[in-house]
Amino acid sequence: MGTVFDVNAHLHTPYSFSAFRDIPQALDMAAQEGIKVVGINDFY
């Protein structure tokens, strides 16, 4: 079996609704939590 990564496949950036001030903050926080894959789901 292959490697299993932690994934967050539902993240909004400040270009739509977001809890983050900017994209680097969101990605830095994901990295701190060990997230290896991030999927962005913006509204616009």
Q: Which domain holds residue 29?
A: 7-40
Q: How confident is the model over 4-44, as pLDDT tens digits?
A: 878 888 888 888 888 889 999 999 998 998 888 888 888 87
The pLDDT score that the predictor gives to residue 24 is: 94
Question: Would you say residue 1 has pLDDT above 80?
Answer: no
Asked if the structure places residue 2 within a domain, the reply is no
Asked if the structure places residue 22 within a domain, the reply is yes
Asked if the structure places residue 32 within a domain, the reply is yes
Non-local CB neighbours of 2 within 8 Å, separated by 6+ positions: none
Please state whether beta strands 37-40 and 7-11 pair in parallel, antiparallel, or not at all (unpaired).
parallel
The pLDDT score that the predictor gives to residue 7 is: 83
Asked if the structure places residue 34 within a domain, the reply is yes
Q: How many domains does the chain have?
A: 1
Q: How is residue 34 written in tokens?
A: 């060990």
Spatial distance between the Cα atoms of 27 and 44, rounded to a whole number of angstroms: 20
The pLDDT score that the predictor gives to residue 43 is: 83
| pTM for the whole structure | 0.71
Spatial distance between the Cα atoms of 20 and 26, rounded to a whole number of angstroms: 6
Asked if the structure places residue 12 within a domain, the reply is yes
Asked if the structure places residue 25 within a domain, the reply is yes
